């Protein structure tokens, strides 16, 4: 952070500068932590999506064997309601 000297303001002391640099580091650490969490969420979602596609591909193979011909597979596996 760049400190600008305003009229009537005293020059920043060493304590104030060190506090500002500490706050900057804290802010940067928080930002990096949030970024890592977001990246982790994206990676988890990607793994789930790929697993879902693999499941659908397996379903399509078996469906082709039993029904014959081309079978369109929904992106999500069909869910049945329990009574």
63 in Cβ contact with 71 (< 8 Å): yes
Contact assessment for residue 16 and residue 9, using Cβ atoms and an 8 Å cutoff: no
What CA–CA distance (Å, rounded) separates 81 from 63?
A: 21
pLDDT at 11: 57
Q: Kindly tell me if the per-residue pLDDT of 78 is higher than 60.
A: no
Is the pLDDT confidence value at 3 over 60? no
20-73 pLDDT tens trace: 788 888 888 888 899 989 998 888 888 888 888 777 777 777 666 666 655 555
């Amino acid at each position: 952070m760049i400190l600008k000297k305003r009229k009537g303001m005293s020059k920043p002391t060493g304590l104030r500068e060190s506090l500002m640099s500490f706050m900057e580091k804290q802010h940067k650490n928080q930002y990096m932590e949030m970024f890592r969490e977001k990246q982790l969420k994206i990676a988890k979602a990607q793994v789930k999506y790929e697993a879902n596609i693999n499941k659908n591909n397996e379903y399509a193979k078996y469906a082709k064997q039993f029904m014959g011909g081309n079978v369109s597979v929904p992106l999500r596996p069909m869910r049945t309601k329990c009574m």
